[in-house]
Structures are given as structure tokens and as C-alpha cells.
Amino acid sequence: MDVNKQDEILSPPVTFWKEAMGRLLKNKGSVISLIILVLMIMLALIGPQISGYTYKQQNIAHTNLPPKISGLEWLGFNGKDVHGIDQYKKRNIKSNHWFGTDEFGRDLWTRVWKGTQISLFIALVAALLDLFIGVLYGGISAFYGGKVDNFMQRIIEVLVGIPNLIVIILFILILEPGITSIILAMIITGWVGMARVVRGQVLQLKGQEFVLASRTLGASNGRLIGKHLLPNVMGPIIVTLTFTIPTAIFFEAFLSFIGLGLQAPLASLGVLIEDGYKGMRFFTYKLIFPAVVISAIMISFNLLGDGLRDALDPKMRK
């Protein structure tokens, strides 16, 4: 027998999850995306505390200060008025605002990271609720099948037939705009995609030999679901969850941008982008910072989702 083959036989077996983690770590794009996401989450948690300002603290004397004042011609604003006089020397102001200030003198560093914190919170809560409802609904539908599955799928078809954005906007109009109403609006139809994924996987698995053997040996429905079906569906669930989070971030930003999301003085990435859009001709920095943050988060989540999909695909296993 070949020595290498013998060593391979004698070595302990590599679990599916360990092998998937190894494939994920070999994907440079996914690793970089994971590092960026960890960095963004850390800044969202500690960023608002290290500036010395609160996200709603106003100082009218420090309105529209650009970051560090000098060297900002590339941002479209050089800190001078129409007569060429330096506004900030005239006002005798020395800025210590890393991202500058807005029209109310609020520190943009604090508001950007507080907005990132709120946007991530809304997206994570909405995605986890979608996960819970979708897994429960899709699992029950596929496991019991027959008339139960037929009835439950008709409900899903009705929800799919209604444009998601219209449902969300109508729900926001009924309730007062806020974090709770945005989360509830997003989960009205957001769980449908997860339910379909879980249903398809459970339908495929419940006819497999190991499930039939366990049922023959007298395993209860709870044991079949908890020990055999759910663990084998976790891969697609994790991938779907990873793609759900940036979608929720986009919806929150879109709602805030059109005025149906969070209201001042609360900050989210959508609120900051909407504020920056209004004054981007003269104060471009107000738009650039939140736009870079939301772009980095969404791109990173999508690249990480692609890497997880490849890593958890059984066909990729050698």
C-alpha cells in the first residue's frame, strides 16, 4: 500500500464544517471581507465613544466644518467663502472633528459610526427574525407535506405576488417611522426567501436513506428535525442569512433616504446619505464618508456570502 494512502487512512477524519472552514480561509476575497466587517463592527461599537461628542450634540458656531479643515480641495470644498477669505480663520475656529460637522455643528465621526451601529442593528435583527420565521415555516411545510404544504405554499405565493417595496412603504406609513416599525416592515415579506430555501432542502433530505432509517427505528418527529434535518440544512441557511443582511441594510438606507425611515436627530447610514446628498455640491465630505462605509459593508457581506456558498457546497468537496 502507498505510504501516503496509508497515512490518509490512519489520520482522523476531517469533518464537513472543518473542511468548509479551510476552503473559506483559502478564499482571499472572503477573508478580506471578513476582516473589513469585523473592523466596521468594532468602529460602530467604539467609534461614537472616542470622539468626545454625542451623535445629537449641536454647536451652531461649528457648523459645516470639513475634516481637519485643510487639504480638502479633493472633496470639493476648500473652506473659503466667495471673497477668498478663509471662513475658519475669520471665525477663529480650530477643528478637531475627524469627519467634520454638519449644518447643525454635530460631529460627523460620531454620527457616521452611530449610524453604522443603528443600520447594522436593524439589519441583524430583521435578518434573524427572517431566519426564525423562515426556518420554522419552511420546515413545517416541507416536513408534513400534503395538504399542509399545499396550504402554506399558497400563502407564500400571495405574498410573493405583492411587490415587497410597496408592502414595506405602506406599513411604514401606517406606523410612525422608527427602528421598530422599520424592522417589522422588513420582516413582513422578508422571511419568504428563507422559507423557500428551507422547504426545498428539507424536501430533498427527508427522502434520504438516513432519515428513513431513523424513522424506521422509531425516532420522533422532533428528533428527526433536530438531529437529522436542521443540521444538514444549516449550510444554505447561513449563506441565505449572509445575503439577507446587506439587503436589509439597503432597504433601511432607501427608506431613510426617501424620508420614511429614521427621523432626526437619530442617525443611520441612509439618513446621513440623504443629508449629504442635499449639500454634496459644497460639502462633499458629508456624502463621501457614509457612502464609503455602506458600500464597504454591503460589498463585504456579498463577497463573504459568495465565499460561504462555495465553501459549504458539497460538490466542492475533494
Domain count, the chain: 1
Residue 77 lies in a domain: no
Residue type present at position 44: A
Residue 98 pLDDT class (50, 70, 90 cuts):
confident
Residue 198 lies in a domain: yes
Count CB atoms within 10 A of the CB of residue 18: 9
Interval 274-312: pLDDT, tens: 888 887 777 888 888 889 999 999 999 988 888 888 877
Residue 240 lies in a domain: yes
Interval 106-149: pLDDT, tens: 888 888 899 899 999 988 998 999 989 998 898 888 888 888 88
Cβ pair 203, 140 in contact under 8 A: no
Q: Which residues pair with 86 in a beta bridge?
A: 80
Dihedral Cα 277, 281, 282, 284, nearest 10 deg: 50
Residue 5 lies in a domain: no
Task: Output phi, psi for 22, to 5 deg.
Answer: -65, -40
Residue 76 lies in a domain: no
Residue 111 lies in a domain: yes
Bigger pLDDT: 200 vs 65: 200
Closest CA to 126 of 173, 157, 174, 168: 168
CA-based max dimension of the chain: 88
Domain ranges, residue 229:
18-48+99-316
> Which residues make Cβ contacts (< 8 Å) with residue 36, sequence separation at least 6?
296, 297, 300
Cβ pair 260, 169 in contact under 8 A: yes
User: What pLDDT was estimated at residue 247?
Assistant: 87
Interval 162-218: pLDDT, tens: 787 787 778 777 877 778 888 888 888 888 888 888 888 888 887 777 777 777 777
Residue 73 lies in a domain: no
Q: What is the pTM of this model?
A: 0.79
Query: How high does pLDDT run on average in the chain?
Result: 78
- In this predicted structure, the answer to whether residue 239 has a pLDDT above a threshold of 80 is yes
**How far apart (Å, rounded) are the C-alpha atoms in residues 134 and 146?**
19
User: What pLDDT was estimated at residue 286?
Assistant: 85
Residue 11 lies in a domain: no
CATH number at 133 reads 1.10.3720.10
For residue 166, the SS3 value is: helix
